[in-house]
Structure 1
Amino acid sequence: MSSVDEIVLPAPADFHVHVRQGPMCDLVVPHVSQGGIRTAYVMPNLIPPLTTTDAVIEYRNHLQNLDPKTQWLMTLYLHPDVTPDEIRKASKAGISGVKSYPRGVTTNSSSGIEDYTVYYPVFRAMEEEGMVLNLHGEVPSDPDQNISILNAEKHFLTHLRKLAHNFPKLRIVLEHATTSEAISTVLELPSNVACTITAHHLYLTIDTVAPQPHHFCKPLAKEPKDRKALQEAIKSGNPKFFLGSDSAPHPTTSKAPGLVEGGEPSPCAAGVYTSPILVPLVATLLESFGALERLEGYVSSHGRRFYNVPPERGQELKLKRVKGQKVPSILRGEGTEVVPFWAGKDLDWEIVE
């Protein structure tokens, strides 16, 4: 397939995307379809988090008003407000899943959970309703147990195994895997467990994150052997693995060092922004490690099959080979701006309008 100059894909889908709120939302929502995505699975970690069906539906209506061409699939934020009754209400309203964030591990996760067992009645209701449980696969850092952002994913895998065992009919997605151990664990577990892999984790390692704040995300990119395991998972064509970009825009002021009250340097926000270039970027990356023939499965059919979201007619995407298609250095909207991943670098593929 590496010799072809044109590819047609059936309705690419991104099963993990952040589109924020306020001016940033207005800027980035059109970028989702611009990057080739027809169906977007939206994360609920807003301020405040989306813990009720009514709040999720209001947000979905806002996104549909901004871009009615995109199919917006919605999620609830796992929280004490999310009860079995709320799950049943959400299911009737067409909400697709529930996202779990361990407390404090990433952007807007201060309301995240600390104990999964208290939510077992919620997970049983989700099994009955056919909703998907999406897991941010890290545990909070703990110096006494030598847990840090470098090994937080490995420590989470025991929770994944336990949930998969206790809820064999619940569809579970380990989000944005970054380690070889995560890939091995997903492969060992039954077919109700799947895994998203981001575009940026197919490229980054810890060496390329350290000097570049726009490469900093959570979970953190790991070692070359871990990147290789992610690439091999895609290259295998195993349907357990599919695209969830975790595209997460932050204003440039949140990524670049500044000063906060008291004169201390401000922290760097965690997030990599890939939406505007997503499908051409994925094609470029897969071709670089000999997996271009797996593009359709990775960006469309595997995820759609797991989520039971068939492609709609007329939503095919055509790519053509290109030379010198440079990624813009910055994208500006009303009152905000964001730097995309691979800014200033060349893509090998572009979308044919």
Structure 2
Amino acid sequence: MIQHLDIPRPDDWHLHLRDGAMLQGILPETARDFARAIIMPNLVPPVVTAEQAAAYRDRILAALPEGADFQPLMTLYLTEDTDPADVAAAAASGLVKAVKLYPAGATTNSHSGVRNFDRVMPVLEKMAEIGLPLCTHGEVTTAEVDIFDREAVFIDTILDPLRRRLPGLRVVMEHITTEEGVAYAAEGGDNLGATITTHHLIINRNHILVGGIKPHYYCLPVAKREKHRLALRRAATSGNPRYFLGTDSAPHIDALKEHACGCAGCFTATNTMPLLAHIFEEEGALDRLSAFASENGPAFYRLPVNQARMQLVRQDAPTTFPEKIETGAGPVTVFNPGFPIHWSVKR
């Protein structure tokens, strides 16, 4: 049995940091383990322009603990009024590494998202020209589509037609949750990547609903059937360069999770790497954890693999993780896998 694992320091290719007191409270949880992260722009108001992205980056850097080595990789929120020239300038400066597509109403703070895709084609054409990735929240939001089918319908009706229309557009299918997502990403070629979250490798929809509603397992895209979870596990542990880690770690204070209309999101920044070591060990794929967490993402984003290293250690006693992170905005519950974890990051 492997007791020690040494990998390049990992990156998180899909992360929510929020702002203000929440940012101050939860940023150290990511900066402790991850060298870089793609930062989601769905603040209120959203991060739409290069100027707003620069200001948000500065707030993140100001909130870093002393001595922390962490680089926020900024994104812009795609709206029907986004200026292609502003996007191109932000990319050319190195400030912005991607643009985020939220179909309007798909998830938290997505109401400014896209309804009419024809209106954003000039931006997408410019992105295809300059090689700037489009990160997609891959769900349709039409009322007649069942919430468990939103991802598959998005692939068929929006993503595939878009990629046929703009074959040069580089696309990340964020937080895929289905067999259909796994299969489409596998056949998508070099211009397509897919992130997989930690929590979707662990929970299926039963974890949310059986024995009472578990609000801290509720996320969007919602966890699906067990067959989909198993497909995600096979993809993540395959070593295929199309798949890489994007935790979608999404903090909400407990009062807004444990609520009559609870917020969507699982907070996994604190314990993702030990959880992934456990998963990859179960799948007999510890030798492929480096590809998933540290190598495939940089390759897609055309960035170097981190030179710094991370050591993961397996011990006999279960690792203890904090139940909550206390922030100035309120307590945030850390994702609980529901079983003992014997891996930890060596500090």
Q: Same fold (TM over 0.5)?
A: yes
Question: Does the 8 A contact of 1:327 with 1:343 survive in 2?
Answer: no
Q: Which residue of 2 aligns with 1:262?
A: none
Stretches of structure 2 that go unaligned for 5 or more consecutive residues are none
Q: How far did residue 345 of structure 1 move? A: 5.1
AA of the residue aligned to 2:90:
A
Question: Does the 8 A contact of 1:329 with 1:343 survive in 2?
Answer: no
Q: How far apart in 2 are the matches of 1:347 and 1:82? A: 44
**C-alpha offsets along residues 52-86 of structure 1, whole Å, 9 cap, x if unaligned?**
10000110111112225101101000013322111
Alignment counterpart, residue 61 of structure 1, candidates 53, 58, 61: 58
Q: Show the 5 A alignment for 1:1-353.
A: 3-34=1-32, 36-67=33-64, 69-94=69-94, 95-143=96-144, 147-158=145-156, 159-210=158-209, 211-257=213-259, 266-313=260-307, 315-322=308-315, 323-342=317-336, 346-353=340-347
Report the more deviating stretch, 227-236 or 269-278. Answer: 227-236
Residues 1:80 and 1:226: Cα distance change in structure 2 (over 3 Å): same
Q: How far apart in 2 are the matches of 1:216 and 1:98? A: 25
Report the more deviating stretch, 169-178 or 336-345. Answer: 336-345
Q: How far apart in 2 are the matches of 1:65 and 1:344? A: 35
Q: Which residue of 2 aligns with 1:263?
A: none
Task: Determine helix, strand or coil for the equivalent of 1:306.
Answer: helix
Q: How far did residue 309 of structure 1 move? A: 1.4
Give the length in aligned residue pairs.
Answer: 338
Identity of aligned residues (%): 36
Q: How far apart in 2 are the matches of 1:343 and 1:193? A: 30
Q: How far apart in 2 are the matches of 1:230 and 1:48? A: 33
Q: How far apart in 2 are the matches of 1:148 and 1:15? A: 28
Residues 1:84 and 1:20: Cα distance change in structure 2 (over 3 Å): same
Residues 1:343 and 1:327: Cα distance change in structure 2 (over 3 Å): farther
Question: Does the 8 A contact of 1:50 with 1:56 survive in 2?
Answer: yes
Q: How far did residue 344 of structure 1 move? A: 7.5
Q: How far apart in 1 are the matches of 2:99 and 2:138? A: 14
Task: Determine helix, strand or coil for the equivalent of 1:150.
Answer: helix
Residues 1:107 and 1:335: Cα distance change in structure 2 (over 3 Å): closer
Q: How far apart in 1 are the matches of 2:107 and 2:133? A: 21
Q: How far did residue 235 of structure 1 move? A: 2.6
Stretches of structure 1 that go unaligned for 5 or more consecutive residues are 258-265
Q: Which residue of 2 aligns with 1:261?
A: none
AA of the residue aligned to 1:83:
D
Residues 1:292 and 1:336: Cα distance change in structure 2 (over 3 Å): same
